[in-house]
Structure 1
Amino acid sequence: MNNAVTANAKVMIIYGTRPEAIKLAPVIKAFEQDPTLTPIVVVTAQHREMLDQVNGVFEVIPDVDLNLMAHGQTLNDIAGTVISQIDEILDMYRPAAAVVQGDTTTVMAAAIASFNREIPVVHLEAGLRSGNIQSPFPEEANRKIVSQIASIHLAPTEVSRTNLLTDGVPDDRIHVIGNTVIDALNWAVSRPPRDGHPLSNRLETDTRRVLLVTTHRRENLGAHMVSIGRAMRQLALKFPDLLIVWPAHKNPEVRASITPQIEDVGNIISTEPLEYGEFSRLLARSDIVLTDSGGIQEEAPSLGKPVLVLRENTERPEAVAAGGVKLIGTNTNRIVDEVSTLLDDDEAYSSMANAMNPYGDGRSAERCLTIIKKFLNI
């Protein structure tokens, strides 16, 4: 591949889900402010409504919206459609490079389509590994596939860099830049809140401690999700002075497992998914976070919030090693015990809340821009 290009090079940024939109928004903004690059923003809309919310918050207007979301689509449906439609867009714009972030099916398929067109792939948040191809599924496989074909690997931490080296990625293609989620979070928390959101209004005057719960992982659907719902109920009854906030994921299986167990409990608030700015302020207001999300494992420690992860493994071990994040699985009794310890033991809480944040300083997008420009000889 010949990566020597002239100024005003087109760089295509491809994403489809809410987490990708959050982590790519600072990169898009950095590109927009640089006169030597032209960002071409392409969304697949693997997540439609939640994706649009994030784009609205960051004032990102896609150049191409493929609108691929369809009810009941399988992973193979998504992959096949993304590859074929992204291929047409790549042929139309002929970018000098394509940027993808993370490990979704959109990321894997867009990377393959770009590689087959001999367009260099830039992989943001490269090198995450759980060590188990089935967990998380299909993300662990997706990120390993992208690592085989990317030209630039933008790793968030030294641990991720080591993972890539172990996989045989050449050292000169790996750059440790931190995580752009911190750039996005700092921006969102610093902005004034919108007037009138009922949850914000309630939390302004409610002095109770807040437990924020988010859960959506495919591998937690079914019995694991039911177990999480039971734990939420038991915690609410055990600590009547605790306010539990659950932004309910759109997946109907998640709601069917959890809602019946909590709907009659007064100190549990169930809300629709929050737009990113509102969720960031909720995260900042919370005292403890209970989650199976990957991104929140990165965001919450930067705000000094202890994170209990509803999984048996994680591709983000840095915060676990630092002490701000703890893997606890989905057993009801274990969840109740771990949350109870943080609520009852000031020393245990302080130890997690004051752990070092390993995910960067909020300048990752700047580093991303510099590295891509150097790669393109701009």
Structure 2
Amino acid sequence: MTNVRKVLTVFGTRPEAIKLFPLVHALAADERFESRTCVSGQHRGMLDQVLEIAGIVPGHDLDLMQPDQTLDALTANLLTGIGRVLDAERPDWVVVQGDTATAMAGALAAYYRKIPVAHVEAGLRSGNIHHPWPEEVNRKIVGAFAALHFAPTETAAEALRRENVAPETIHVTGNTVIDALHWVTAKIEREPALAAGLADLERRFAGKRIIGMTSHRRENFGDGMEGIASAVRRLAERDDVAVIFPVHLNPNVRAVMNERLAGLDNVALIEPLDYPHFARLLAISTLMLTDSGGVQEEAPALGKPVLVMRETTERPEGIAAGTARLVGTDADRIVAEANRLLDDPHAYEAMAKAHNPFGDGRATARIVDLMAAR
């Protein structure tokens, strides 16, 4: 077939892998493209879990994860490492996703070689360069020069227009995370053993309402983590509630949570979950406490209210739709908002049944067709 476009998809963290594997699959299956992948290894173990379940073997693996690596050292290694891959592959397009250091450096390395960049999940903005940090600046950098901006929502598209991004390069596609969640949910239905690892906890907490939890944001390190831990400790005093908390590997998270929450009967501090088990945690939870971006999109797809433990969010659509609520890291407010959802059925139903603004599960197909049309 003539005019086959060579596409290099660059990613390095678990969230990127989740949001990009449907696109990697689609590009590989489409005769209009030659698909190649490069992973940075910015997250190692958590990235590999997603690659395994998605059946992706990267063409290039930079394996850059190091303990206590500074952001500038990581960025330098990413920029030069991805640059070497670009020089070897000479792709027609580079695809990056979101707002990680890998996405920013991958896009910048492509720009230095005048290779056009397609940015998946473009246009998210909190309006504060320190919240989330450094993600807000990472995505703004990519947004300054990407050739195609795949905005998950109209709100994200409008944010790009306000920054004078050329309107003809902006396309509202929905978020690929919904595509990924539909894929893994269907896979679990076919192969229940993929998500059977939570069965013991499900039995242990039978009859209790489960609060699922994630926390890892850099801007919450220190006092923020202390506030979050205090809130969880207080919520666990309820005899009708249990908290399942896959604890992030970062020592700034683990040290606080292990000190404050270890040994509580109603709290399960567990290792990070692979993607099928995380989808299962979403399914069995009554509500989610999180400072993650992706959970704000995924949980509403399953009708689960989200309390966002941050001061700002680059996903205001969820707040506006009523699927999510900003609660910050103040323990009193987290506890009050969680108790409101647990004790007021009307408040719970209003959030659980609100329309998910983040997509319909067809974002990947739209992105592939838009890239093919260029």
TM over 0.5, yes or no? yes
For 1:218, the aligned partner's letter is R
Query: What residue is the counterpart of 1:311 in the other structure?
Result: 310
Query: In the aligned structure 1, how far is the partner of 2:263 from the partner of 2:174?
Result: 42
Partner of 1:132: 128
Residue type matched to 1:106 in 2? T
Contact persistence 2:197–2:277 (CA under 8 A):
no
Structure 2 residue 88 is matched with structure 1 residue 89: no
Matches of 1:104 and 1:196, distance apart in 2: 28
- The structural deviation recorded for 1:284 is 1.1
Partner residue in 2 for 1:188: 184
Identical residues among aligned pairs (%): 48
Q: Which residue of 1 aligns with 2:227?
A: 227
CA-to-partner distance for each residue in 1:52-88, whole Å, 9 max, x for gaps?
0011111111010011111221111111111111111
Distance 1:44 1:267, change over 3 A: same
Aligned to 2:289: 290
Kept in 2: contact 1:229–1:259 (CA 8 A): no
Question: Where has structure 1 moved over 6 Å in runs of 4 or more?
Answer: none
Do structure 1's residue 242 and structure 2's residue 241 form an aligned pair?
yes
2:277 is matched with 278
Aligned residues: 370
Cα deviation for residue 371 of structure 1 reads: 0.5
Contact 1:14/1:41 (8 A) holds in 2: yes
| Structure 2 CA distance for aligned equivalents of residues 198 and 80 of structure 1 | 38
Once the two structures are TM-superposed, the CA of residue 207 in structure 1 deviates from its matched residue by 3.0
Letter in 2 for 1:365: T
1:107 to 103, 108, 120: 103
Q: Distance in 2 between matches of 1:198 and 1:56?
A: 17
Which stretch shifts more, 18-27 or 31-40?
A: 31-40
**Aligned counterpart for 1:24 among listed residues 17, 20, 30:** 20
Letter aligned with residue 145 of structure 1: I
Flag the 1:195–1:123 CA change in 2: closer, same or farther, 3 A: closer
Hey, what does 2:357 align to over in structure 1? Answer: 358
Q: Deviations 1:31-70 (Å, cap 9, x if unpaired)? A: 1111121111100000000000011111111010011111
Q: Distance in 2 between matches of 1:65 and 1:8?
A: 24
Secondary structure, aligned partner of 2:161: helix
* Cα offset, 1:199, TM superposition: 1.8
Q: Any conservation in 1 of the 2:195–2:280 contact (CA below 8 Å)? A: no
Alpha-carbon offset, residue 264 of structure 1? 2.2
Shift of 1:7: 3.3
CA shift, 1:228, in A, is 0.7
Determine if contact 1:183/1:362 at 8 Å carries over to the other structure: yes
What letter corresponds to residue 338 of structure 1 in structure 2? E
Distance across 1 between alignment mates of 2:199 and 2:63: 31
| Separation (CA, whole Å) in 2 of partners of 1:107 and 1:75 | 13
Check if 1:55 corresponds to 2:54.
no
Decide whether the 8 Å contact of 1:298 with 1:319 is kept in 2: yes
- Residue matched to 1:199: 198
* CA displacement at 1:338 relative to structure 2: 0.6
Aligned to 1:171: 167
Q: Which amino acid aligns with 1:276?
A: Y
**CA distance 1:198–1:58, change in 2 (3 Å):** closer
Q: Is 1:327 matched up with 2:326?
A: yes
Distance 1:304 1:152, change over 3 A: same
Q: Is the 8 A contact 2:234 2:335 kept in 1?
A: yes
Consecutive unaligned residues of structure 2, counting only runs of 5 or more, are none
Q: CA deviation at 1:143?
A: 0.5
Secondary structure at 1:305's aligned position in 2? coil
Aligned equivalents of 2:180, 2:207: Cα separation in 1: 27
